[in-house]
Structure 1
């Protein structure tokens, strides 16, 4: 009987975890696929109210939240909102919200959404290290969260967004030239970081790891089971990003071919 009870508890716990994962994944996967017509509906503004509710004082957002659902407990939501250590670019956080609010601003011309999106962009600019890398969490002061993070495409998601900003691509057509230039500078620094973190083995350039030390650029560990290792999926998306650069330098070309 005891074993049966433990099994039931374990299954229920697993189902809860899976439901939570599906919940936030629905947001990060479905939000970019929304039709433009959606942003003229009352539902779009309802979702935005939840997005704005969770935006942190840093300008960034916490991860693993399904903004399609209105929070049952707003007090708990405010606790998360004010925990600035939760601001992150992991699991599609912050970049997804900036894009959503920008699309809604274009549809409604409500300055509230524009201002929130710009605060999100300012967070991304501030979170970037001088060496060009982005940590998984900012301003979290310690732990593996501070390392330069390619894991789950965290840094590449940011650089893809900033590329659209710098090019004045929709939904960022409303941004001024000064912001576009700032985005381009951040991209240039990010590319430099990518080149510096490419792992060299036996004198030859290979690929990248999920995390790299923010000071030495060396491969770095994350959780106990995430040891330094060459990362296939993340490296593939880094290469794709580099291949899309206009007028790539000889160093970028060498990096791609390697």
Structure 2
């Protein structure tokens, strides 16, 4: 997942800014609308590349980044990228009625359509300069990102990782039903077909599709064809298919939804370890490894996430089979909790649990770059990675309470409001204001996620600079590509750093961050103003 590039001017930070400035006049609706228009005009007219976006830019556009440094010809699909911006534009349209936001959403959609893989899904990024440029990026910047193993090969296919394909598909669905514009139906149909075609008969999905058997990953068989729970791959696909059922009445998706939900059941392992891994083998449904710092093991946060998903599946169906073995999984989670003296920064669960022993596995690395470096697992909790935590915080009590509440609720009430029974229902009007979960697809309350104060909104208006962007610390940076790494480790200890030696192109936290343009800052500040408008 990405490093955090939070804006200095989100609702919380805007409060601090407001306190540091002289008293600001209370914002008016017209002033807020003008701030939104001016900030959006800068993004669409100065920042966008054929309607698409990456995550951050230096003010002179000499460098730009998604999860890794990007070429000027590239846009990012992985959130918070082009589809995230498209959702925000539609939200702004609903909040203001200004058709300029609809045009911005159309441009974002066209950028995604122009970069849609022939299979119907999307890669992490789109390069408008073509295949040769994409391959050059993967052979240089991507190849040398030591910790970003998912970028070290160019597969030429599409990915479900990090919700890029799911978010893009959801955005095209939203745009299609917004005004019934048939222009978006063919790429939407391609996306639906991609989700259906890539599903295994047992209901699971691979991380990437079409499958590519020729790749090996650090000497191991490639992991991208395995059944994937990591980063909510299955959950995001189920959510998209439910949206298609709800908004389009497309009954083709019912059986795939059912099989996908049942895949969670069949992948839960037997006692004495009734848990899940990040990924599972297709043939025998056993936990499997993924990236080299994701060993073959049971995974506590994935197990907790899957418990949560199965509680949601029970809400959707009222079928007891989704609850039947959850107490076992919750008891197992409780059994592998570390004693208080071994907790790490308040995180009391090991990320990885060894198969067969229930003992924690901890992840370390040695070397200085992708060529000479190596990740490995052992049982020593000292000196673990900082870019991928060996410890997790898990709310088992919260899962138990939700389980008990659902058990106490009459099944008939659940079945009556299930999205599986709904057809032709509108999608939520707002997607950016909070997570859209499977269980609340029929709710879209603009004021639902906390109050935004007048002072915060006034600070946002005051913080927008003369060019029309919010100056933001770009806390994540990276070494420019300077050649492949050396087989000989560079001097120094890189075992607990985000980045290796000077040849490592992975992003890291800049101790002296540059001020620049952040897509995430724009999105967060626009969300704050949309919430403020909705409360008036």
For the aligned pair, the TM-score class normalised by the smaller chain equals 0.7 to 0.9
CA shift, 1:104, in A, is: 1.4
User: Would the alpha carbon gap of residues 32 and 256 (structure 1) be closer, same or farther in structure 2, given more than 3 Å must change?
Assistant: farther
Residue of structure 1 in register with 2:302 after alignment: 234
Q: Which residue in the other structure is 1:119 paired with?
A: 190
The verdict on how the C-alpha distance between 1:106 and 1:163 changes in structure 2, with shifts beyond 3 A counting, is: closer
Could you report, residue by residue, the CA deviation over 1:165-202 in whole angstroms, capped at 9, with x for unpaired residues? 33x1xxxx2x2x4x2x2212111111221111112342
Q: How does 1:85-234 map to 2 (within 5 A)?
A: 85-142=156-213, 143-166=222-245, 168=246, 173=247, 175=248, 177=249, 179=250, 181-202=251-272, 205=274, 207-234=275-302
Aligned length: 224
Q: How far, CA to CA, are the matches of 2:108 and 2:133 in structure 1?
A: 16
Query: For residues 239 and 309 of structure 2, what CA distance do their matches in structure 1 show?
Result: 8
Q: Tell me what 2:121 maps to.
A: 60
CA distance in 1, matches of 2:270, 2:63: 38
Distance 1:29 1:104 in 2: 13
- SS of 2:171 mapped into structure 1: helix
Mapped contact 2:202–2:259 kept (Cα < 8 A): yes
* Unaligned residue ranges in structure 1 (runs of 5+): 1-15, 66-70
Is the partner of 1:131 in helix, strand or coil? coil
Judging changes above 3 Å, is the alpha-carbon distance between structure 1 residues 149 and 225 closer, same or farther for their aligned structure 2 residues? same
CA–CA separation in structure 2 for the residues paired with 1:201 and 1:152 = 25
Residue 25 of structure 1: aligned partner: 79
Aligned-partner SS, 1:244? helix
Q: In the aligned structure 2, how far is the partner of 1:17 from the partner of 1:101?
A: 29
Deviation at 1:208, TM superposition (A): 1.2
Q: Distance in 1 between matches of 2:269 and 2:125?
A: 30
Q: RMSD of the TM alignment (CA)? A: 2.9
Could you say which structure has the higher strand fraction? Answer: 2
What is the TM-score normalised by the length of structure 2? 0.38
Residue 520 (structure 2) aligns with? none
Contact 1:54 1:77 in 2 (8 A): no
> 1:63·1:88 contact (CA, 8 Å) conserved in 2?
yes
TM-score by length of 1: 0.76
User: Which residue number in structure 1 is paired with residue 111 of structure 2?
Assistant: 50
8 Å CA contact retained: 1:58, 1:87 = yes
Cα 1:47–1:154 change in 2 (3 A) is same
1:11 equivalent in structure 2: none
User: Which moves more between the two structures, 28-37 or 221-230?
Assistant: 28-37
Q: Which protein has the larger Cα radius of gyration, Structure 1 or Structure 2?
A: 2
The offset of 1:31, in angstroms, is: 4.9
